Amino acid sequence: MACSCGKKHTCTCETEFISPMSALWEIYSGIGEKAEVVAIAWEREDGKVYRYDLPIPENLSAAAAKEVSYVVERIAKFIVWSAGGWKLYLAGPDKVVKPVAKAYTKKGARAFDYDFFTSIYGRPVETCVVPLAEMPEMNEKPALVKTVADGCRIGFDLGASDFKISALNKGKVVFSKEFPWDPVPQTDPEYHYQKLTAGLKEAAAALPRVDAIGGSTAGTLVGQKMGIASLFRGVKTHSPEKFETAQNMFFRIEKDWGVPFAIYNDGDVTALAGMITMGKKGILGVAMGSSEAVGYVDMKGRMTGRISELAFAPVDFNPNAPKCEWSGDAGVGAMAFSQQAVNWLAQKYGFKFPKAMKLPERLKVVQAAMEKGDEKALKVYIQIGRFLAHAIPWYNEFYDYENMMILGRVTSGLGGEIILESAKRMLKDVYPEWAEKIDIFMPDEKARRLGQSVAAAQIPVIKKGK
C-alpha cells in the first residue's frame, strides 16, 4: 500500500501516513474487466444492519490477497466503531475474508473490539462467512430528533479533562461554566456523581426553576445506560463490582431531579449543535478533545442510532502508526484528532514535557507556543489538518454528509484556524472532488467550547403544564 505521498511503506515523509483512500484506489486499479465482491456487514440491535461492498480483482495472488484482507479488516473495524454491532457477516474469497473473521474472536487480533462489543450488547460477538446471496441488506432506521428551547433548561457535556454546564432560560444562555475534573483514574463512581451533581446545582441557581436536563457524554451509551467509557475506566479496572453503579449514574441523576431528562453520545450532540447553530443538515461533527468524538445528522436532519465512536476507527492504514494506549491498535482516530495526537506530534517535532504532565496541560503548552508563532507548534496543527483532509473522503465512504463541523479543545485558538486552513488546502490539492462537495467549518470560539452543553439542554421535551 502507498503512503499518502504516493510512496510505499518505506517512504520518508514526516509521519509515513497511509491514506485509506489510497489503499482503496490501489485495489480498484487492479480490477480488470471482471471483479469479485467482498461484502462486510455488521448487525446490531433491532435488526439494524450496516453493509459495505468492496469490489476487488479476480484471482488474487497470495500476497495480493493478504493486502486486500488487511484493507477488509480495516473496513470491518471502521464499520463496527461507526455503526456498532454484535454479528459480523463476510462474503468473498476465503483467503481474504477468513483471516478477518478470525480476527474478531475472543483470542483474535481484534480481541479488544470483541470484548468491548460483547460488553455493550450483553452477548458474545459472532462472526460468519456466508455466500454473497445470503448477506443481509443495509437496514438503518434513522429517527428525527427535534430540539426546543422553551422553559428553564440545563445542559451538560462530560469530557475526560473537564465538563461543561450551561443553563438556558427561554433559549437564552444565563449560565455557562467549565468544571475541571479527573474522572478516568477514579475507582469510585461516587466521585463522578458528586462532581456532576455539584455542577448541576450551581447551574440551577441561575434559573428560577429547572424544567428539563439534557446531557452529552464521552463514551458509549445504550439508551441512558453507559456502556464502556474512558470516564469510568478506573472503576471498570480497579472496582469492577461498582461498575454497574457507574453505568446507571444517569438514571440516578434523572431520579434526583424529577424532570424530563435525555442523554446522548457527545458526538451526536456535536452534530446537533451544528444543526441548531448553523442551520445545516447532513453534518458530521468531529469534536477533538481528550479523545475524538463524532456524531452524525443525516441529509434529512435525522439520527441513525450509530455509536460513531470513531476514536477507535482506523484513519491511517500504516500498521506502524502510533498505537492507541487503550485499544492497542495503530492509526485510529484518537491518534489523529485529540489531545493524544497533539502530544505525540509535539514530541515528534521537538517539544519536551515533564513525564508527570497530563495531556490537557501539554495541550496548553502547545497552544501557548502557537499563539507566539512557534514553528514546532505550527507543524503540529498543520499535520492534524492534513490528517483531517485524508479522513474526509474516507468518512464519506460511510456517512452521507456535506458539512463537517470541527470543535473541541484541540481546535481552540489559533491552532484551530491552522487545522482548518491546512485541511482545506490539502483537500483541494489531493481530493478536489470532495473539496467541492464538503464544507468544513468551525463555530465561533464560545460555541466550540460550550456548544454541546447548550445543544444538549434543548433535547428533552418539557411536559405540558410546565
Residue intervals of the chain classified under CATH 3.40.140 are: 22-134
Q: How confident is the model at residue 1 (pLDDT cuts 50, 70, 90)?
A: low
**First-residue to last-residue Cα distance in the chain:** 60
The DSSP call for residue 130 is: -
Q: How confident is the model at residue 444 (pLDDT cuts 50, 70, 90)?
A: low
CATH superfamily to which 275-452 belongs: ATPase, nucleotide binding domain (3.30.420.40)
- Name the grid cell of 195: 462532581
Q: How confident is the model at residue 8 (pLDDT cuts 50, 70, 90)?
A: very low
Q: Average pLDDT of 236-262?
A: 94
pTM of the model: 0.82
- Name the grid cell of 387: 490528517
**Which of 24-28, 230-234, 428-432 bottoms out in mean pLDDT, i.e. has the lowest?**
230-234
Q: Average pLDDT of 32-36?
A: 90
CB atoms within 10 A of CB 128: 11
pLDDT tens for 352-391 read: 999 999 999 999 999 999 999 999 999 999 999 999 999 9
Range of 263-277, 322-336, 445-459 with top mean pLDDT: 322-336
Q: How confident is the model at residue 7 (pLDDT cuts 50, 70, 90)?
A: very low
**Which of 176-180, 296-300, 352-356, 441-445 bottoms out in mean pLDDT, i.e. has the lowest?**
441-445
Percent of the chain that is helix, strand, coil (3-state, to 5): 45, 20, 35
Per cent of the chain over pLDDT 90 is 72
Q: What is the CATH T-level fold of the domain 22-134, as seen in this structure?
A: Cytidine Deaminase; domain 2 (3.40.140)
**Residue 284 confidence (pLDDT) above 60:** yes
**Residue 307 confidence (pLDDT) above 50:** yes
The DSSP call for residue 53 is: E
- Element (H or E) spanning 263, and its range? strand 261-265
**Residue 10 confidence (pLDDT) above 60:** no
pLDDT reported for residue 465: 57
C-alpha angle 147-448-300 in degrees, rounded to nearest 5: 40
Higher-confidence residue of 130 and 223: namely 130
Q: How far apart are CA 177 and CA 401, in angstroms?
A: 31
CB 445 within 8 A of CB 133: no
Alpha helices by DSSP H, 249-358: 249-257, 266-278, 339-348
Q: Average pLDDT of 167-181?
A: 95
Give domain 146-268's CATH number out of 3.40.50.150, 3.40.50.300, 3.30.70.260, 3.30.420.40: 3.30.420.40
Q: How confident is the model at residue 325 (pLDDT cuts 50, 70, 90)?
A: confident
185 Rama sector, left if φ>0, alpha if ψ -120 to 50, beta otherwise: alpha
Q: How far apart are CA 392 and CA 326, in angstroms?
A: 24
pLDDT tens for 66-86 read: 999 999 999 999 999 999 999
- Element (H or E) spanning 203, and its range? helix 189-204
Residue intervals of the chain classified under CATH 3.30.420.40 are: 146-268, 275-452
